[in-house]
Structure 1
Amino acid sequence: MRVTCETGSTGVCFAEARSHPASKGNEEEVGGGQDRSHRFISLDGVVEAPGGEDFKHRNWSFAFDRGEDGDQFKLDEALAAEVLLIGRRTYESFADAWPKYTGPLADKYNSMPKYVVSSTLTDPQWNNTHVIAGDVVGEVTKLKEQVDGEIQIPGSIRLVQELIENDLVDEIHLMTFPVILGTGRRLLGETTDKTTWKLTESRTVGEGIPITIFQQAGR
Structure 2
Amino acid sequence: MAKIVVSENVSLDGVVQDPTGEEGFRHGGWFGRLGDRDRAEWAEVEAAEAMGTDALLLGRRSYEWFAARWPSRSGAWADRLNSLPKYVVSSTLEDPAWNNTTVLEGEVVSGVSKLKQELDGDIVVYASSRLVRTLMDHDLVDEVRLMVHPVVLGAGDRLFGGTGDMKRLRLLGTRTVGDGLAHLTYEVVR
Task: Give the structure-1-normalised TM-score.
Answer: 0.80
Residues 67 and 91 of structure 1: is their aligned pair in 2 closer, same or farther, counting only changes over 3 Å?
Answer: closer
Amino acid across the alignment from 1:155: A
Amino acid across the alignment from 1:76: A
Counterpart pick for 2:161 among 169, 180, 189: 189
In structure 1, the residue matched to 2:27 is: 57
In structure 1, the residue matched to 2:134 is: 162
Residues 106 and 71 of structure 1: is their aligned pair in 2 closer, same or farther, counting only changes over 3 Å?
Answer: closer
Unaligned runs of 5+ in 2: none
In structure 2, the residue matched to 1:114 is: 86
Amino acid across the alignment from 1:49: D
Structure 1 residue 73 corresponds to structure 2 residue 42: no
Amino acid across the alignment from 1:58: G
CA contact under 8 A between 1:64 and 1:207: conserved in structure 2?
no
User: What is the RMSD computed on CA atoms of the aligned residues?
Assistant: 1.5
- How many pairs does the alignment contain? 187
Distance 1:41 1:190 in 2: 16
1:112-149: CA deviation from partner (whole Å, max 9, x where unpaired): 11111111111212111111120110010111111111
Counterpart pick for 1:84 among 53, 56, 60: 56
In structure 2, the residue matched to 1:45 is: 14
Distance 1:109 1:71 in 2: 13
Q: 1:193: how far off?
A: 2.6
Residues 96 and 190 of structure 1: is their aligned pair in 2 closer, same or farther, counting only changes over 3 Å?
Answer: closer
Distance 2:83 2:12 in 1: 35
State the identity %: 45
1:64-111: CA deviation from partner (whole Å, max 9, x where unpaired): 231644331121012211111001111111112211122112111222
Q: Secondary structure at the match of 1:131?
A: strand
1:94-109 equivalent positions in 2, closer than 5 A: 94-109=66-81
Unaligned runs of 5+ in 1: 1-31
- Detail structure 1 runs of 4+ shifted over 6 Å in the superposition: none
Residues 64 and 104 of structure 1: is their aligned pair in 2 closer, same or farther, counting only changes over 3 Å?
Answer: same
In structure 2, the residue matched to 1:141 is: 113
CA contact under 8 A between 2:17 and 2:158: conserved in structure 1?
yes
Distance 1:207 1:164 in 2: 31
Structure 1 residue 33 corresponds to structure 2 residue 5: no
